Amino acid sequence: MKLETLLTEQRNPASAGIDRMSTFEMLRVMNAEDAKVAGAVGAALPRIAEALDRIAAAMQTGARLFYAGAGTSGRLGVLDASECPPTFNVPPDLVTGFLAGGDGALRRSVEGAEDRPEQGAEDLEAYGFENGDVLVGIATSGRTPYVVGAMQRARALGGTVIALACTSGAEISNHADIAIEVLCGPEVITGSTRMKAGTATKMVLNMLSTGAMVKLGHVYGNLMVNVQQTNEKLRDRARRIVEQALEVSPEDARQLLMKASGEVKTAIAMHLLGVDAAAAREHLQSASGNLRKAVDSGSSDS
């Protein structure tokens, strides 16, 4: 497919005269175009849901999630992956993002790196991709050679491959088990996919990683019960999570956390099941760490 035919390379008539607009009018156009992104993501929800279910099922067997991209796409993958450990207290290698040009490309563009499919394949293996793992190949243009190379190698290794593009009939979709194509239209600045396409990409990645963590039981209600208490803000959040989940006083929440050695899930399970910390941990272990399942199964046993 020729670059000039891609949706992400088309000119946007709404911004054709942007260099002559007032500041307010320029921002109004940008805002109006950004407002279209959520709808475009909404139209792709069936495929996003299919991808999420595959990711969660893989993680429940001990498999991992990888993101591969170039430029903005790669940086967004690395960003999403890097935020999973502090948010959900999961191992740092459960979600891994890598990009053309390596970590140095996070700050400075590495020209030509995205045109090397063999490097995408080599980088995938270097990060330890194995049979059963999941790769999300991210390319807003839908044709980045580096990403194609990583996807082809992932399939050869027995992994599940998901494509995320912002154009229809994307080349990377041909190399995927599940193809997500978010059609948010031409950019305000022609071809500048760090704008609408970048926003759409971040929204989808947020859905995939957050949804997987919900399904793994790291969220109870809408509370981050697997929060990692690495600073004062997060220690206070842990106390508030226990307080809100159980509708108890701040002091009662602090006491429960103290008895649970600071473990939020254990504190909540102790209170709801009426057991001590050791028994609460046993219930959680039997439910593979899923608080909702631990509480529901423990309540039905009593």
Whether 29 and 15 have beta carbons less than 8 Å apart is answered as: yes
pLDDT recorded at residue 43: 97
User: What is d(CA 173, CA 181) in angstroms, rounded to the nearest whole number?
Assistant: 8
Range of the domain at 261: 232-301
13 burial type by CB count under 10 A (0-12 exposed, 13-18 middle, 19+ buried): exposed
- Given 9, 50, 83, 122, which residue is catalytic? 83
Q: Please list the residues that pair with 179 across neighbouring strands.
A: 163
Whether 62 and 91 have beta carbons less than 8 Å apart is answered as: no
What is the helix (H) or strand (E) element at residue 137, kind and residue range?
Answer: strand 134-138
Q: Domain for residue 227, yes or no?
A: no
Same domain, 124 and 185: yes
Whether 97 and 82 have beta carbons less than 8 Å apart is answered as: yes
Same domain, 169 and 275: no
pLDDT recorded at residue 207: 98
Same domain, 113 and 253: no
Same domain, 24 and 107: yes
pLDDT recorded at residue 212: 96
User: Strand 160-165 vs strand 134-138: parallel, antiparallel, or unpaired?
Assistant: parallel
> How far is CA 296 from each of CA 10, 140, 246, 253, 301, rounded to the nearest angstrom?
52, 42, 15, 21, 9
Same domain, 193 and 283: no
Same domain, 183 and 271: no
- The ranges of the chain with pLDDT < 70 are 1-5, 300-302
User: What is d(CA 155, CA 119) in angstroms, rounded to the nearest whole number?
Assistant: 16
Q: How many CB atoms within 10 Å of residue 237?
A: 16
pLDDT recorded at residue 128: 96
- Given 114, 171, 187, 263, which residue is catalytic? 114
pLDDT recorded at residue 5: 66
pTM for the full predicted model: 0.90
Same domain, 160 and 283: no
Residues 52-74 have pLDDT tens digits of 999 999 999 999 999 999 999 99
Same domain, 32 and 162: yes
Count structural domains, the chain.
2
User: Of 180, 215, 250, which marks where a domain is finished?
Assistant: 215
Residue 83 annotated as catalytic: yes
Q: Domain for residue 223, yes or no?
A: no
Residue 25 annotated as catalytic: no
Helix axes 291-301, 277-286, angle to 10 degrees: 110
